[in-house]
Amino acid sequence: MKVLYITSESYPFLTSGGLGDVSFALPKALAEKSVDVRVVMPLYADISEQYRSKMRYVVNFNVPLAWRNQYCGLFELEQDGVKFYFLDNEYYFKRSGLYGYYDDGERFAFFAKACIEMLNNISFHPDVIHANDWQSALAPVFLNEFYRDNPKFYSIKTLLTIHNIQYQGIYGREVMTDILGIHPAHGSLLEYGGNINYLKAGIASVDRVNTVSPRYAEELKEPYFACGLDGLMRDNAFKLCGILNGIDRGVYDPSTDSALDASFDSSDFSGKAKCKKSLAAEFGLTDTDKPIIGLVSRLVSHKGFDLVKNALEYILASGMNVVLLGSGDYEYESAFSALAERHQGSLGVRIGFDGQLARRIYAGSDLFLMPSLSEPCGLAQMIALRYGTLPIVHRVGGLYDSVTDCGDGEGNGFTFVDVTADELLGACIRAKNAFYSGEWQTLVKRALDCNFSWDRSADRYLQLYEEIQKLWE
């Protein structure tokens, strides 16, 4: 099995979030299963010299993009058993950061076209091209429009993963001819709502579409979750599925994590109590016998922070401590900072992000709150479980697929359905009652025994690649 994995970002080179983490962990897990997977991404200016110095120049070629004929240099580097390709064009990628430029539509159209043109200049011939999100969704579009007549490209199958449908790559109609070079007669493929929509075009063009959790795949058929594309998702339901993301259990391991004051695992988790005591001291919590609820998140509305803001004082009054780490909208940053001033000793807030502190919160908290209104997959709840911390989650997206309520006697967390502060508070109080019950240690061990490794997810992706390969036969 040969797979070309196209992504706009990847750990450890340059990443802005979950897509970058997945784009490293999944190919690594696939390679361990003897899949010949090659990852391709832009050669951004911010990729450090630590990695640039190890890259090997392969070839350069021109990329036709409408009336343009742009240079592209190709470099390669092997990282953790996976070959990474980097596409170089200083006009498009010699800039700070990854996204947010006025010409992102042109930048990532070039990237997508270059990924296909690259295959004319190297010996690698993939069975499947696996694109991710809107930044590479045009790759299968270009493949079908310009390359299928070439016998080298005829048999290549395509997959598009939607990590978050909120971001779609929407531009004016003029980009179709001026940037993409696609004839107006084929405009229906790209047009949506009077604009050109890169993600829509990718969904319509690929052999299969998947999302990062089974529940999210179903939710995208509903207007509330699909950001305008619910009709398209229903029309393409026959090629849609969901595969839950995983976490790297070697990276997140309480038995070896150097950020923690004590190590522990499912066979002996006595060290977790020391981690809790250290966390309480770090945030100035006075009553260390109370359960601690941890939050590590971007402070934005779709993460459910209006619910948290409305319920927080009631949570504290019910006899729980809360520690929060995150940054985002000023509204939430200022509100939670003010609450922390009024509730010193029971509420600790740090505005910003600190990876080491985040791990101490995962390990030292008893409970972890994720009240997201929409969550395609979510990784924090899996990390929390890895550290023996039981999640409190809204039953949506990947949270629905990974956390089940302890009320059934077999669950690994606490869940709520209705999007209200009362429901969130009720789930927190049920969690507090469980903390003081004689079953708490059993619940902690059950959390530590949960396995959300990438190995399982990679098996499902490999199965999906094999299903795609059999198409047209």
169-226 pLDDT, tens digit per residue, is 999 999 999 999 998 888 888 999 899 999 999 999 999 999 999 999 999 999 999 9
* pLDDT band per the 50, 70, 90 thresholds, residue 405: very high
Q: What is the pLDDT of residue 179?
A: 94
Q: What is the pLDDT of residue 473?
A: 62
Here the CATH number for the domain that contains residue 289 is: 3.40.50.2000
Q: Looking at the structure, tell me whether residues 238 and 286 fall in a common domain.
A: no
Query: Rounded CA gap, 78 and 42, in Å?
Result: 15
17-72 pLDDT, tens digit per residue, is 789 989 999 999 999 999 999 999 999 999 999 999 999 999 999 999 999 999 99
Share of the chain above pLDDT 70, in %: 100
Helix (H, G, I), strand (E, B) or coil at 403: coil
435-451 pLDDT, tens digit per residue, is 999 899 999 999 999 99
Q: Mean per-residue pLDDT for 222-245?
A: 96
* pLDDT band per the 50, 70, 90 thresholds, residue 16: confident
Q: Looking at the structure, tell me whether residues 288 and 425 fall in a common domain.
A: yes
Q: Is the peptide bond before 126 cis (omega within 30 degrees of 0)?
A: no
Q: Looking at the structure, tell me whether residues 129 and 242 fall in a common domain.
A: yes
391 occurs within a structural domain? yes
The conformation of residue 266, written as its DSSP 8-state character, comes to: T
Q: Looking at the structure, tell me whether residues 322 and 465 fall in a common domain.
A: no
Q: Looking at the structure, tell me whether residues 209 and 281 fall in a common domain.
A: no
288 occurs within a structural domain? yes
Q: What is the pLDDT of residue 409?
A: 78
Q: What is the pLDDT of residue 186?
A: 81
Q: Looking at the structure, tell me whether residues 203 and 275 fall in a common domain.
A: no
Question: Average pLDDT, whole number, for the chain?
Answer: 95
Q: What angle do CA 243, 248, 249 make, to 5 degrees?
A: 115
251 occurs within a structural domain? no
Q: Looking at the structure, tell me whether residues 183 and 315 fall in a common domain.
A: no
Q: Looking at the structure, tell me whether residues 240 and 305 fall in a common domain.
A: no
Q: What is the pLDDT of residue 183?
A: 87
pLDDT at 302 over 80: yes
Q: Looking at the structure, tell me whether residues 36 and 90 fall in a common domain.
A: yes
pTM over 0.85: yes
Between β-strands 347-351 and 321-328, what pairing exists: parallel, antiparallel or unpaired?
parallel
Q: Looking at the structure, tell me whether residues 238 and 277 fall in a common domain.
A: no
Q: Looking at the structure, tell me whether residues 241 and 282 fall in a common domain.
A: no
Query: Rounded CA gap, 70 and 403, in Å?
Result: 48
Domains contained in the chain, number: 2
255 occurs within a structural domain? no
In this structure, is the dihedral angle defined by the CA atoms of residues 99, 105, 111 and 115, taken in order, positive or negative? positive
In whole angstroms, how far apart are CA 173 and each of 75, 106, 182?
Answer: 34, 13, 11
252 occurs within a structural domain? no
Residue 294 lies in domain = 271-451
In whole angstroms, how far apart are CA 446 and each of 334, 443, 449?
Answer: 37, 5, 5
Query: Rounded CA gap, 136 and 1, in Å?
Result: 21
Q: Looking at the structure, tell me whether residues 232 and 364 fall in a common domain.
A: no
* pLDDT band per the 50, 70, 90 thresholds, residue 113: very high
pLDDT at 384 over 70: yes
Count the neighbouring beta carbons within 10 Å of the beta carbon of residue 341.
Answer: 9
265 occurs within a structural domain? no
Whether the Cβ atoms of residue 191 and residue 198 lie closer than 8 Å to each other: no
